[in-house]
Amino acid sequence: MSLAETLIMELDQEAKATRAILARVPDDKLAWKPHVKSMSLGFLAQHIATTPGGAAQWGSVETIDLADISPPPEPESAAAIVATFEAGVAQAKAILAGMDDASMLKNWSITRDGRCVMSVPRIGFYRSVMFNHLYHHRGQLSVYLRLLDIPVPSIYGPSADENPFG
């Protein structure tokens, strides 16, 4: 199995839990924030939705400058967030499927104003940003839902609201 195939397999598995939590975002709470310093619920969900496709696209080139990365637009609706996620997962899988192991092991860099901020093997970027970054924000989103008294779906096992083993 190639490195790209292992990432695609993980993306497929993790997309199920991410899809389930994004589907619970209510339209009438998109502007809600748990704290003044926090992202809005809608912005956080949109950030999660755009992460797989955006990260895959950034990783498909050898270098990207932070100036070329802009935040995702505010979402129009919860349904649009889920649609954005589905399109991003499909985009990520297509990009990853086109990479061989040599491409995955080649160094990838991010710069700011011509200065290298990070340089790692491409697979390290994908692990760190496409996956770990996604998991971090998905965890935040589960807290937002809990604070809004919206049932939290099972992610890796039972939640207080859902038990896939019971």
pLDDT score, position 152: 97
What does the alpha-carbon distance between residue 28 and residue 105 come to, in Å, rounded to a whole number? 44
pLDDT score, position 130: 93
Tell how strand 107-112 and strand 63-65 pair up.
Answer: parallel
Residues contacting residue 38 through CB under 8 Å, at least 6 positions apart: 44
Q: Is 59 exposed, middle or buried (0-12, 13-18, 19+ CB in 10 A)?
A: buried
Tell me the backbone φ, ψ of residue 65, rounded to 5 degrees.
-100, 135
Q: Is 84 exposed, middle or buried (0-12, 13-18, 19+ CB in 10 A)?
A: buried
CA 16 to chain CA centroid, nearest Å: 12
Q: What is the pTM of this model?
A: 0.94
| Segment 84-108, tens digit of pLDDT | 999 999 999 999 999 999 999 999 9
Relative orientation angle of helices 134-147 and 3-22, to the nearest 10 degrees:
10
Start-end of H helices in the chain: 3-22, 41-59, 78-97, 101-105, 122-125, 134-147
pLDDT score, position 166: 79
Domain range summary for the chain, segments of one domain joined by +: 3-147
pLDDT score, position 122: 97
Per-residue CA distances from 44 to 16, 30, 49, 73, 118 (Å): 18, 9, 9, 11, 24
| Segment 126-152, tens digit of pLDDT | 999 999 999 999 999 999 999 999 999
| Segment 59-84, tens digit of pLDDT | 999 999 998 888 878 899 999 999 99
| Segment 104-131, tens digit of pLDDT | 999 999 999 889 999 999 999 999 999 9
CATH number for the region 3-147 comes to 1.20.120.450
